[in-house]
Amino acid sequence: MATSLTTRKGGIGMNLPTATKLNIPLPSKQCSNCSGHAPSFLHQVRHLGILRRLCTACVLRLHPSSFCPVCFAFYAGSPPHPSKRVACSNCCSIAHSHCAGDTLLTSYLCPPCKDSSFSFFPLRDNKIDKKLAIALLCASKIASSSMGKAVTVAWAEADRKVREAALARKRAREALEHLVVLTRKEKVRKENVNVVPAKIEELDMEDGDGDVDLVRHIEDSLVKADD
């Protein structure tokens, strides 16, 4: 971008270039599971170790054990007591006993398993009633919990990598110290002089010994890495 000079009433002014508009791609408004478009209700979820953008219906469908499929109560990792819940005989969905109704507990089917066309969030004309609002809130809680766990996993992974890097530097330094000893011994052997292995600071670095210079270079690199 070039600038230009202009004169105004005997004065000199500068025409500054206008800022270039950045073409930043917007997040996709398409659910990564069902490919449906839900511009207003896409949730960021970590599912099976992968960050995905899911619509409300898919968040609920992919987390059947996290909530009651009837009243949309979010369990937050603490499902109802076994005496107060019933499990779907076809999937891992868990419902409150009182929500399951009078169905036989041994053959209970959650709504999605009972009807393949069932949707937890049948949004029509962008109108949300009370039931859809409760379902949306439940999906939001699931997504929030999922991303919270993702943060915990990310911190643990970062901590592990830091510890691994520190261990690698420690081993590299030990290898360098061993190399210093071997280099000194080789130099002594060549000179046929009995000299006790010394630290690198005690070595004569002005004799043009290529091996010692190499050791010094490696040690300097390690020091910079520690900084």
Residues 79/94, Cβ–Cβ less than 8 Å: yes
Task: Tell me the domain boundaries of the chain.
Answer: 42-155, 161-226
Q: Count of CB atoms within 10 A of residue 182's CB?
A: 13
What pairs with residue 163 in β-bridges? none
d(CA 131, CA 111): 15
Residue 91 CA, chain-centre distance (Å), reads: 28
Percent of the chain with pLDDT strictly greater than 90: 26
Q: What is the pLDDT of residues 55-77, one digit of tens each?
A: 999 999 999 999 999 999 999 88
pLDDT higher than 70, residue 4 = no
Q: Which of 3-7, 38-42, 83-87 has the highest mean pLDDT?
A: 83-87
Which of 200, 201, 194, 202 shows the shortest CA–CA distance to 180? 200
pLDDT higher than 70, residue 175 = yes
Residues 91/110, Cβ–Cβ less than 8 Å: yes
Residues 181/203, Cβ–Cβ less than 8 Å: no
3-state DSSP assignment of residue 8: strand
What pTM does this model have?
Answer: 0.59
Q: What is the pLDDT of residues 128-171, one digit of tens each?
A: 889 999 999 999 999 999 998 888 888 888 889 999 998 998 89
d(CA 54, CA 60): 10
Average model confidence (pLDDT) across the chain: 78
More confident site: 129 or 2: 129
What is the per-residue pLDDT for 75?
Answer: 94
